[in-house]
Structure 1
């Protein structure tokens, strides 16, 4: 019984380290993408969009990135930054399931549903 408890503790320490690494990598990737867009914007002196317009949905953002529009690249970086904690929630669900902590699986899954619902509402501009 003690061996199983030690194995579970070791596994949870590993999951916690993985979550930390995921958050760090997500922030570094997001910051790098934003900086690339900022540098392109400073070098070209153009946002890539007329006036005060900019893309707010994933499709136009990806189209703008394909066209190397600085604001679209920065928006992609922000999108990645927003998705980083969402990925953390997904990994937490896995960790709680491995630990057989059903209450926290339910709570964390509820948080994920709320995040998904909020993103859908934001995408629909509601």
Structure 2
């Protein structure tokens, strides 16, 4: 039987042979500092502590909180509206056979936000689905608008210009389809 011993705390026995032989393996002691920490100290010469880490101002934290909640709740609300519209649509039209032989385009009432709102107010289930999709599209656009207002208040010209370009691109992609 073989018996292996490592640092006098780990024992393993095997029943392969009736003879017993003990082998001791000693591991080198772990160093206090890691290799990464040593390299950082060598290259920078500075030992980073919590006081050296750049923190965000309260206004930046508040803006991040507002924008993250806007995106989170905007997507949740839009998804809920689409789900509600889909359930209502399936309740009333779920048993109708699908006809794929002829292509039916989207009705004209669903091609504009004004038409979608009219369809929802008239009780259209497809209108509810379309409203949820409009809310989903409006969520990131509203985020860009709020970011733009925050950058204007902070007077950060570079970010204002970039945000205006993003907003112009989003607006063109939405309005460009009508012209």
> What is the aligned partner in structure 2 of residue 3 from structure 1?
none
Measure how far apart 1:120 and its partner are.
Answer: 1.1
Runs of 5+ consecutive residues of structure 1 not aligned to the other structure: 1-5
Which is higher, the Rg of structure 1 or of structure 2? Answer: 2
2:86 counterpart of 1:38? yes
Q: Deviations over 1:36-94 (max 9, x none)?
A: 111110111179xxx83332211221121112211111011001100100011011112
Q: Which has the higher contact order (CA 8 A, sep 6+)?
A: 1
- TM-score normalised per structure 2: 0.58
Measure how far apart 1:96 and its partner are.
Answer: 2.1
Runs of 4+ in 1 over 6 A off after TM superposition: none
Q: Deviations over 1:12-41 (max 9, x none)?
A: 011001000111111111011101111110
Measure how far apart 1:98 and its partner are.
Answer: 3.2
How many residue pairs end up in the alignment?
115
Structural RMSD (CA):
2.1
Quick one: distance in 2 between partners of 1:97 and 1:60? 34
> What is the aligned partner in structure 2 of residue 92 from structure 1?
147
Structure with the largest fraction of helix: 1
- TM-score normalised per structure 1: 0.81
Measure how far apart 1:100 and its partner are.
Answer: 2.9
2:121 counterpart of 1:73? no
Runs of 5+ consecutive residues of structure 2 not aligned to the other structure: 1-54, 97-102
Structure with the largest fraction of strand: 2
Quick one: distance in 2 between partners of 1:60 and 1:88? 24
